[in-house]
Amino acid sequence: MLSRDDVFEELGIGPVWRLRGAPAGAAPAPATGYTWDRLADAVAHCTKCKLHATRTQGVLGVGDRNADWLIIGEAPGADEDAQGEPFVGQAGRLLDAMLAAIGLARGENVYIANVLKSRPPGNRNPEPDEIAACLPYLQAQIELIRPKLIVALGRFAAQTLLQTDEAIGRLRGRVHRHQGIPLIVTYHPAYLLRNLPDKARAWEDLCLARRTYTSLTPES
Ligand code: URA
């Protein structure tokens, strides 16, 4: 099995994606050359990893393609696989409530995507080769949306975007950068459904995200 470093080496994006804490605009992403149409088509017909054999459909993402806020989860679950939209199940309802708590709504200046576009069977964790195969799609989404802020939900989104093995408890609570874009890490809504006490920490993270956004866009 490939390690995370192998994955990034294979993609040839190590040096750029490794630039943590770089000032805004310092490290342009390698251009993927996708338009939204080409990206949607590529995800719909993707066979780059084994998940294509068991998924119902690829789940690209949902929302405002010019959003300031990009929310990134892990992978589609059963509901998302069936409906073709991220975060439509129980975790999605909690995500909508979390967004509402900081004055945001799905689709209004918010785009929601996942690291993986295909459902891992039985909702198992994403595997490194699957992340490697799918990452260019997320990279293209970031490039096309050019969000002002990224919120990474859970370990897989955070560790993939920050290219680290650090635990989520150590990554949350501060502002990171991904390709120069401020990135806040918080717990995945599905985790919060099982670990209610951590909701208070997630609330702190969301407040940090809101404050960071306000400092970037004082008129907001
Ligand atoms: N969990 C995720 O990470 N993404 C979804 O779309 C649904 C559940």
Q: Could you report the per-residue pLDDT of 98-123, keeping only the tens digit for each? A: 999 999 999 999 999 999 999 999 98
CB of 62 within 6 A of ligand 1: the answer is: no
**What is the per-residue pLDDT across 7-16, written as a single tens digit (0 to 9) for each?**
334 333 333 3
Average pLDDT of the residues in 59-69: 98
Question: What is the residue whose two structure tokens read 């590529």?
Answer: 42
Cα–Cα distance for residue pair 199/93, rounded to 1 Å = 14
Question: What is the residue whose two structure tokens read 């502002």?
Answer: 175
How many Cα atoms within 13 Å fall on the side-chain side of residue 139?
22
CB of 141 within 6 A of ligand 1: the answer is: no
Among 23-27, 132-136, 192-196, the minimum mean pLDDT is found in 23-27
Cα–Cα distance for residue pair 49/53, rounded to 1 Å = 9
Question: What is the residue whose two structure tokens read 């998302």?
Answer: 80
Query: Does 1 have pLDDT greater than 80?
Result: no
Pocket test for ligand 1, best of 83, 188, 191, 192 (most atoms within 8 A of CB): 188
Written as one letter, the residue type at 189 is: P
Average pLDDT of the residues in 45-68: 98
Can you tell me which atom of ligand 1 is nearest the CA of 157?
Answer: 3
Cα–Cα distance for residue pair 55/118, rounded to 1 Å = 6
CB of 86 within 6 A of ligand 1: the answer is: yes
Domain ranges of the chain: 29-216
CB of 76 within 6 A of ligand 1: the answer is: yes
The pTM (predicted TM-score) of the whole model is 0.86
Can you tell me which atom of ligand 1 is nearest the CA of 85?
Answer: 6
Average pLDDT of the residues in 16-27: 36
Q: Is 187 helix (H, G, I), strand (E, B) or coil?
A: coil
Residues facing 111 on adjacent strands: 63, 70
Contact 178, 161 (CB under 8 A): yes
Average pLDDT of the residues in 46-62: 98
Helix intervals (H) in the chain: 4-11, 14-17, 36-44, 78-83, 90-101, 128-145, 154-162, 168-171, 189-194, 199-216
- Assign domain 29-216 to a CATH class: alpha beta
The protein residue whose alpha carbon is closest to atom 7 in ligand 1 is 87
CB of 114 within 6 A of ligand 1: the answer is: yes
- CA 75 to ligand 1 centroid distance, Å: 5
